[in-house]
Amino acid sequence: MSFCPYCKRQIKEDWLYCRYCNKPLISTVDIGLSKSIQQKPEVHSLNYLNYDEEELDFNFDLNDDEGLNEELIEIENQLKEKELLGEPVGDILINKASVYYKQRDLEKALKNLEIALSSFSSEGNTLKIAICHNEIGLIQEESGFFEQAIYHFERALDILNELEEFHKVVQVLNNIGNVYLQINDIEHSYESYQNALNIAERENLEFEAIKSASNLVETLLNLRDYDRIKKILLHNTKFFEQKNDIYGMIQTLIKYGKLYYLMGEDNYEASFEKFQQALKLIDKIQDNISLYIKAHLEWECYLYLGLQAITWDNDIEAESFLLKSLEAIRTFEFRDNIKEGLVLENLAKLFTLKGEDQKAIDYYNISLEIYEKFGDKAKVAKIKHDIGKIFYEFLQDRIKSIQFLEEALELYEDLNFTKQAAELTSLLGDIYGKSEEFELAASFYTRAKNYYRELEDDFNSSILEKKIEKLNQNQKLS
């Protein structure tokens, strides 16, 4: 009988990966890390609920289509047999959903989970109803339907709280936090992760507390709470070293790299070193993990290494790292992924710096499509703003620049992004002023001045006053 060294649950001898806590079952890898090296925790891997019968198995070979088809045939036979005998089929349907998930057919996976949910509902099996809601939520999240994902996670959470299944409650709270983080709702993301951490500590769920704290770091990075991040990462480092948990060490290294990057250029060397250490460890365990997991671990390493290379004016390395990040995302994504939009956006910025304006616009447009699909209006506005500036400053295409800038302005105003709206109305005033469209220019300058007054920015509002006065003088002369 074997047990997972991390979550202590019973496992099968042939598992390369614990299907309960998603950890690689590695016992022979030489970690080779000094105990004095600080490292980091957890990326946003999907945390499926611990399910004692059939569960969605996340460790899979992306190229094993033949084996998966054979598995589907076997499941169909089991399903027909159960239906003939009038026996419950919910567990088999979850297994079937797992196979479709591995085949990247999210629609069929979702359909089977919904049928399983109906089956468990008719049986009154509340625990498995909760599990189905969680699994559906994960697929909705991956498909970009974030509101639906939150709905199903909250349904699962309500049931699990009633059942006092606190281990599973913690996992679902982390899933909710992940969704809120993706849509940049930092307040609700923080609340979900912190609640998960509080419950895990109260119930003495050590491993879940470590994972929840690791997830919490992601919101703390947005809040720039560096002192608390350092405390969490130091604690997690000691835990993962004691457990000889190389997977946890990799995740911790990645978070340290992000921390040092956000702390500014003086810490870029430390950030670079952490990401390189993470990549070396990933290479060391690559034979023991799936391509999917490997890509999930690598994408942020390459993204931040690319961003650092841009700062260091190393365009060749920057492009190489960013393209590797994009390749990693496309390995684990099922459809358009919002992470892909982020990498494409940074590739566009790189090509802008290199003076390859049309290439930059092409990358911006692809990222724009992704952000529009996921409803990220702030990103859409920012990219339209950037495209408009390229057309204006480098390509001298006044018509297209105005088109993109005015579309960006409308979004900024809808979002109540006053600072960005002020900058953009001022720029549009400049553009119309240069073409001697004085009334339009004055209109935009006046709007800009009002925005700056709202921001209590006397310096810029004074500049706008002078621009308006100059326009009025030019109008009189013309």
Count of domains forming the chain = 1
Q: What is the pLDDT of residue 45?
A: 27
Task: Give the tens place of pLDDT for each residue, 173-223.
Answer: 999 999 999 988 999 999 999 999 999 999 999 999 999 999 999 999 999
- In which residue ranges of the chain is pLDDT below 50? 6, 16-17, 22-60, 62-63
Nearest Cα to Cα of residue 208 among 173, 182, 233: 173
Is 148 inside any structural domain? no
User: CA-CA distance, 57 to 53, in Å (whole number)?
Assistant: 11
Identify any residues that bridge with 3 across adjacent strands, giving them in sequence order.
10
Is 449 inside any structural domain? no
Q: What is the pLDDT of residue 22?
A: 47
* 15: Cα within 13 Å, side-chain hemisphere: 21
Q: Tokens representing 263?
A: 């702390």
Q: What is the pLDDT of residue 478?
A: 64
Secondary structure letter of residue 3 according to DSSP:
E
Nearest Cα to Cα of residue 267 among 215, 314, 315, 275: 275
Is 128 inside any structural domain? no
Q: What is the pLDDT of residue 338?
A: 87
Query: Where does residue 369 rank: exposed (0-12), middle (13-18), buried (19+ CB within 10 A)?
Result: middle
Is 270 inside any structural domain? yes
Is 288 inside any structural domain? yes
Residue 252: give the domain boundaries.
228-329
